[in-house]
Structure 1
Amino acid sequence: MMKQSKIYMRPWLEIHHRTKKTDTDEWYMGLANELLPLVMTFPLYEGNPDVAEDQRRLALTCALYLEDCVADAGNWREFIHWHKRSYGRYLPFYSLTEDYLPDEINREDIAFLLWTLSSKSSDSCPFNDVENPLDETLLELADVLYERLDAAFESAPISDKLASNWMMDRRLMEKEREPLPEIVPGAALPTDVEHFLEAGKGEPLMFFDSYDALKFFFVHSLKWEDDEETLLPELAEFDNFVVYGNPKGVLVAPDVAKYFAAGNNPLYDAATTEEEAYEMFCEGGLCPFDLLKYGMEHNLLPEAQFPFENGKALLHDNWDFVARWFLREFYEGD
């Protein structure tokens, strides 16, 4: 039995970053509480220890979505128009037809909202797994919620105090994807990069199976001092290294070499890549973003895929958004 089957005003006001109610708040809170029993009948969050909280959050999110749609403003409108400018379509993952109306409510919108709540991304919630945006139960619940929101659309009041950043932080949307640093013939390069390119015969990526092999490369190819303290001893517990040389310097990434299908990579493992490589797009700090970009822009991660049906197409068609959504401050981070 659920400990709480009602949503109270406090979380609604907290999301709106205010303490005083407006005339429209009670109406939207009433809607959220009408939606909650519908949400509770679906097994979308089964097995999650915070299932009750997730269900309440979903009902609140649907109310926030409708509030923005009725006002034709707010963070939801910001998001879909940003996504259209950035990626050429209003939403990731879903095949939108001419029936999709950006100034109204849509089934695909609600399915995507369900995905965002199932595939959490926050500083306080480390990556665990990614939900299938085309999951049958998710789409069924999206249909049910759409019918209820569609029925409420015409009678819903217009709010002039909308919540900000509830869908996606505006600062994250405003982050520009930077072009990869390119090595221009004749341009001055850091000494480490010159030594790297000489050792790798011009290849921008090199691969090492162990820390001992990496140290040998540092000393004998990059000409680093043979001193344990200067040879990145914090990497001693790792293996399967990628080293990426570019005009910024020499970047070292542990535990990801098996995913890169480069011609000079003897460590590449296609089967492991199929199972695990998607985590580089979802777990902050697992793979430096410049290296991830290089891999995608040079087709070195062809077997990377989400662990569900059609997972390869869904990842490759949406990889930049997925990385932005999950990696957050690591997306184009320093």
Structure 2
Amino acid sequence: MHTSTRSAVLVQGIYKTFKKSQALQGIDLEVRPGEVMALLGPNGAGKTTLVKVLTTLIKPDSGNAFVNGRHVVDEPEKVRSTIGMAGQYSTVDDMLTGFENLRLIAGLRGFGRRGARRVADELLERFRLTDAAGRTAATYSGGMRRRLDLAAALVGAPPLVLLDEPTTGLDPESRLDTWEAVGELVAGGTTILLTTQYLEEADRLADRITVIDRGKVVAEGTSDSLKATAGQRLVLYVAEDHEIDPATRAAARATGLVPAVDRRARRVEAAVTDGRAALARALAALADEGVEVLEIGLHRATLDDVFLGLTSRARREAA
């Protein structure tokens, strides 16, 4: 059994089944100290189940998981003492002020009265909530509530913070506000395990990304390395509707694949593996078809392309 304390999180072959549903099917995962790891996957992929295992809320059926060197089943209290958690929904008490929420949590974390007040004041200042400290949480905006959630997760300065879909349901402005707050945590040296469905969120915040689907890891790496595995795409636009079909034939000849066509945008695109050579073939094929394009080029794959390719493939294999 490997119990290296060099890992903030170490997951080895975790399985978890609920009735007939296999939520986790042999998950392996490692999060290094000081990094942000994003767990990316569709609804039902197993992200939240894994977080519940790591926070000792549920026990795995088999396998091992260590958090800050502590076994989640054998040493649950020690695990909980070293983590902060912010879930999908706000956990603050609407009837209490921002200050009272943080003072309460500090008390539960073992701080005395004076220490709890000091911690609450420091965190309110850190997350730019000092002016709203005396207002009840019910009056906070979505972004302010999420910042208060993050502040609560940092009471006691835990070395690891788990964020389970922290921006679900937030408006764009509040989402940006939350991302800024997460960035401040990272700058302070906090290790973060983040689950999300938002591709932009993973792309922006994570040092590494683990893509899971149907309880299995289907890919892992940096955002750039994952994009590189998806290659490039040949994308072209035409001016007239009647040019779409000949342009599609030209793209098919150049790439050997069936292109994706957006008739409303008059856009044709297909994956390529040989970049410039495919572009040259496409230009020749378009000339043969007598089509003049408005725009043509090679586009780097996006995280959307990676995510959709990986998860759809995993679901086809499962089926």
TM-score interval for Structure 1 and Structure 2 normalised by the shorter chain:
under 0.3
Please identify which structure carries the higher strand content. Answer: 2
Instruction: With the length of structure 1 as denominator, give the TM-score of the two structures.
Output: 0.24
